[in-house]
Chains A and B, each alone.
Chain A
């Protein structure tokens, strides 16, 4: 399914078109479930989060029109932010975030192919310009929703140092991407 197709489905969903919502679910739920599962690392909780995410998509689909994001990026942002909010609400963060996650290696989905390969290479190239531990921290925060506290613990540095690292890395990343 092309980004244009997904855009149409989101727009029709915003007009309360249930068939479009069903198609949108079929086309994107695997990706969004992948996001929830990676962040939450628990199938039952990821399923709940996915349900909440699609309730949100149905309710807020009209907001997509005001966004400049690509449709799949917009959907992923909703799922990612929701999953991260959920994991922050947990009293005890999972100590071993990768441990229990037993899923197959990612096969590139249609949306992966749709993202310009250049963009992907560029951000990975820019991450490589950072020190490895700092690039790892950026990836850990983005992909797993790791907090400053968790990142500091994992890298064995004080929280404020981690905050400084990550902020500095993000600014360098932006500078590099805009080059």
Chain B
């Protein structure tokens, strides 16, 4: 690599890539590749960490800003729903939701998978994720106030949704879709009412999600779309990010 000033050729190699990653100037694709290397190459990961340490005093310039009061609730719903106060009433609500969801499923017949139960995804003392990568998505309002936070664990093939905001209203259902690139949306089924929903993911859809797919929610008639494609407006959308 030749530089234009008079210090002569310089080949920083991996250390330079690590520095560029940490300083934050790389493009999306370059960052994705660097993040993959951090996972797979411990020597490169050490170079990145050394740069994080070197530049960390610059982070003093970030101000402290109190986050909105509701932010923590969304996190807790996703991670700990059903953790406390599990009562018989709560249990029957879960069953009812489950049945409603299955009825919805039977009506759509096209939905590819399902099982929704209001159970904790990661209750305290639950087995921690067995390594590997997981994904999160903020399914954000699009011309609506509907929002969900999603967490996908490929090892468990489990997609968890925490309801953040917005109501479906009488006579409507929320249907969840997975979209990869320009391909047609694939239905993940009708989202049952509830603060936290866990969906079991088929291997095919799991592959789609792990490729960094997008999740979208459309407003449909009760029971969901009968055409296999969204028929109502898309009210929320969000891309899965590897964590």
Interface residues of A (CB under 8 A from B): 14, 16-18, 22, 25, 29-31, 33-35, 37-38, 43-52, 54-56, 58-60, 62, 67-70, 73, 76-77, 80-82, 84-86, 88-89, 103-109, 111-112, 115, 119-120, 122-124, 138-139, 141-149, 151, 161, 163-164, 166-168, 170-171, 173-174, 177
Closest A residue by C-beta to B68: A47
26 contacts between A and B (CB under 8 A): A29-B72, A33-B71, A47-B67, A50-B67, A51-B74, A51-B78, A51-B136, A51-B138, A59-B129, A69-B49, A69-B52, A70-B53, A73-B52, A73-B59, A84-B24, A85-B35, A88-B31, A89-B239, A89-B241, A103-B63, A107-B64, A144-B24, A168-B5, A170-B19, A171-B16, A171-B19
Interface residues of B (CB under 8 A from A): 3-5, 7, 10, 12, 16, 19-20, 23-28, 31, 35, 49, 52-68, 71-72, 74-75, 78-80, 83, 122, 124-126, 128-129, 134, 136, 138, 140, 149, 151, 238-239, 241, 243
Q: Are A123 and B65 in contact (CB-based, < 8 A)?
A: no
A143 cross-chain contacts in B, Cβ below 8 A: 58, 61-62
How distant is the Cα of A149 from the Cα of B71 in the complex, in angstroms?
A: 32
Whole-angstrom distance between the Cβ of A3 and the nearest chain B Cβ: 12
B136 cross-chain contacts in A, Cβ below 8 A: 51-52, 55-56
How distant is the Cα of A85 from the Cα of B38 in the complex, in angstroms?
A: 15
A54 cross-chain contacts in B, Cβ below 8 A: 72, 75
Closest A residue by C-beta to B28: A88
Q: Are B64 and A109 in contact (CB-based, < 8 A)?
A: yes
Beyond the given A171-B19, A174-B54, could you list 19 further A-B residue pairs with CB under 8 A, ordered by the A residue number?
A: A25-B72, A35-B62, A49-B138, A51-B71, A51-B74, A54-B75, A58-B79, A62-B128, A85-B28, A89-B241, A103-B65, A120-B60, A123-B54, A123-B58, A161-B4, A163-B25, A166-B20, A167-B12, A171-B10
Q: Are A16 and B58 in contact (CB-based, < 8 A)?
A: no
Closest A residue by C-beta to B10: A171
How distant is the Cα of A30 from the Cα of B243 in the complex, in angstroms?
A: 21
Closest A residue by C-beta to B19: A170
Q: Are B59 and A35 in contact (CB-based, < 8 A)?
A: yes
Given known A47-B71, A50-B71, A142-B58, contact A166–B63 (CB-CB < 8 A)? no
Q: Are B140 and A48 in contact (CB-based, < 8 A)?
A: yes
Q: Are B241 and A164 in contact (CB-based, < 8 A)?
A: no
Q: Are B24 and A146 in contact (CB-based, < 8 A)?
A: yes
A49 cross-chain contacts in B, Cβ below 8 A: 138
Whole-angstrom distance between the Cβ of B162 and the nearest chain A Cβ: 9
B140 cross-chain contacts in A, Cβ below 8 A: 44-45, 48
Whole-angstrom distance between the Cβ of A176 and the nearest chain B Cβ: 10
How distant is the Cα of A80 from the Cα of B28 in the complex, in angstroms?
A: 14
Closest A residue by C-beta to B137: A52
How distant is the Cα of A14 from the Cα of B65 in the complex, in angstroms?
A: 25
Whole-angstrom distance between the Cβ of A154 and the nearest chain B Cβ: 12
Whole-angstrom distance between the Cβ of A107 and the nearest chain B Cβ: 7
A29 cross-chain contacts in B, Cβ below 8 A: 66-67, 71-72
Q: Are A106 and B63 in contact (CB-based, < 8 A)?
A: yes
A141 cross-chain contacts in B, Cβ below 8 A: 23-25
How distant is the Cα of A88 from the Cα of B59 in the complex, in angstroms?
A: 20
Whole-angstrom distance between the Cβ of B11 and the nearest chain A Cβ: 11
Q: Are B27 and A147 in contact (CB-based, < 8 A)?
A: yes
The 5 closest A-B pairs by CB, nearest first: A106-B63, A48-B138, A88-B28, A30-B64, A33-B67
How distant is the Cα of A121 from the Cα of B233 in the complex, in angstroms?
A: 54
How distant is the Cα of A51 from the Cα of B78 in the complex, in angstroms?
A: 10
Closest B residue by C-beta to A127: B58
Q: Are A55 and B12 in contact (CB-based, < 8 A)?
A: no
Given known A59-B134, A80-B59, A143-B58, contact A33–B52 (CB-CB < 8 A)? no
Given known A56-B136, A103-B63, contact A138–B27 (CB-CB < 8 A)? no
